[in-house]
C-alpha cells in the first residue's frame, strides 16, 4: 500500500507537460493518491513545440498519465477566480471520488506585462496577477476546507509561491504582492485550521525550468539566470513536485504554517 492510498488530491494549474502542477500530480499519484487536475483550457495553438509534437491535450493528458501509473484521475477546466467554479470543483471531486484530502494551489498568471515599472503596469494586468494567485488560493481553500473538516481525518493544503514571496525586486510589484500574500495567507490558515489536523504550507521556488520559462530561451540569458543561484543551476519541476508530494505525507505532519524555500540557495535569510 502506498503512503497516500485512498486519498484524493486536487491540483490547480496542472495542464503543462513541463510544469510544477504536472510534476506534483505525478508525484502524488506515485504516492498512491487519486488525482483531480484543473487548468484554464489553453488554446492548443499556444502549446509549446514539444507538447504539439506528442499531441498533448492539456489537463486531459495529465489525467491520462496519472491513470497510466494506476491511479484514478479527473480533469476539469476551472477558473479559480470564480466562486461557483471553485465550489463546483470540490462538489465534482466528492461526487466522483467520495472525498477530498489534498489541495495544491498552483494556478498563476504567466510572466508577462506585469513585469515592468509599476507606473507602466496596466491596473487590469496588476489585478489579474493577484486574482489568479491570491483570490484563487482563497476561493479554492474556502471551498475545500469544509469538506475536509466534515470528513474528520485531516488533510493538506500546499500552495506554490516563489522566492518573490520572500524578497522584493524591481519591476515585479504585482508578482511580489501576490506571492507575499500567499505566504501571509498560509500563516493565517495554519492558525485557523491546524486544530482540524489540516497542514497548511507553501513552497517558494526560484527559477524552475518549466515551459513558462521558454520565453527566455535556453541560451546565454537563461544561463545567466541559472548562474545566479548559489548552487549554479535552475531547479526542475520534478524537484519541486516531489517535495510538494512529501509535504502531503504523514512524515511531514509536524511541518505547519511554513513557506519553504526550494530555490538552490537564492534566499537563505528566512
Within a 10 A sphere around the Cβ of 82, how many other Cβ atoms?
15
How confident is the model over 144-156, as pLDDT tens digits? 999 999 999 999 9
* Nine-digit cell string for 187: 500563516
How confident is the model over 225-239, as pLDDT tens digits? 888 899 999 999 999
How confident is the model over 232-268, as pLDDT tens digits? 999 999 999 999 999 999 999 999 999 999 999 999 8
Is pTM beyond 0.85? Reply is: yes
Mean pLDDT over residues 119-143, rounded? 98
Beta strands 102-105 and 73-77, pairing class:
unpaired
Q: What angle do CA 65, 76, 39 make, to 5 degrees?
A: 80
With H, G, I as helix, E, B as strand and everything else as coil, classify residue 102.
Answer: strand
How confident is the model over 50-86, as pLDDT tens digits? 999 999 999 999 999 999 999 999 999 999 999 999 9
State how far the alpha carbon of 68 is from the alpha carbons of 8, 26, 34, 73, 223, in Å: 17, 10, 12, 10, 35
| Domains and their CATH numbers in the chain | 8-261 (3.40.50.720)
Give the residue numbers marked as catalytic.
Answer: 175
- Model confidence at 220, in pLDDT bands (50, 70, 90)? confident
Separation of first and last alpha carbons in the chain: 37
Amino acid at each position: 500500500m502506498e503512503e497516500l492510498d485512498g486519498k484524493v488530491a486536487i491540483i490547480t494549474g496542472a495542464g503543462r507537460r513541463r510544469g510544477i502542477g504536472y510534476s506534483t500530480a505525478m508525484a502524488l499519484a506515485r504516492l498512491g493518491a487519486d488525482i483531480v487536475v484543473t487548468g484554464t483550457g489553453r488554446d492548443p495553438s499556444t502549446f509549446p513545440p514539444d507538447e504539439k509534437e506528442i499531441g498533448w491535450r492539456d489537463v486531459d493528458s495529465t489525467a491520462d498519465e496519472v491513470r497510466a501509473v494506476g491511479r484514478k484521475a479527473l480533469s476539469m477546466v476551472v477558473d479559480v477566480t470564480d466562486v461557483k467554479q471553485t465550489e463546483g470543483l470540490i462538489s465534482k471531486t466528492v461526487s466522483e471520488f467520495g472525498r477530498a484530502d489534498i489541495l495544491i494551489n498552483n494556478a498563476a498568471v504567466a510572466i508577462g506585462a506585469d513585469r515592468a515599472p509599476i507606473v507602466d503596469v496596466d491596473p487590469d494586468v496588476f489585478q489579474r496577477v493577484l486574482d489568479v494567485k491570491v483570490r484563487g488560493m482563497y476561493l479554492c481553500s474556502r471551498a475545500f476546507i469544509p469538506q475536509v473538516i466534515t470528513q474528520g481525518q485531516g488533510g493538506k493544503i500546499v500552495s506554490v509561491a516563489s522566492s518573490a514571496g520572500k524578497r522584493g525586486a524591481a519591476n515585479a510589484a504585482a508578482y511580489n504582492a501576490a506571492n507575499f500574500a500567499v505566504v501571509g495567507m498560509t500563516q493565517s490558515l495554519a492558525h485557523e485550521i491546524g486544530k482540524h489536523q489540516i497542514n497548511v504550507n507553501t513552497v517558494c521556488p526560484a527559477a524552475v525550468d518549466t515551459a513558462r520559462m521558454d520565453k527566455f530561451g535556453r541560451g546565454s540569458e537563461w544561463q545567466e539566470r541559472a548562474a545566479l543561484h548559489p548552487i549554479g543551476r535552475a531547479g526542475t519541476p520534478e524537484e519541486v513536485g516531489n517535495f510538494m508530494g512529501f509535504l502531503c505525507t504523514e512524515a511531514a505532519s509536524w511541518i505547519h504554517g511554513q513557506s519553504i524555500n526550494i530555490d538552490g540557495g537564492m534566499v537563505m535569510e528566512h
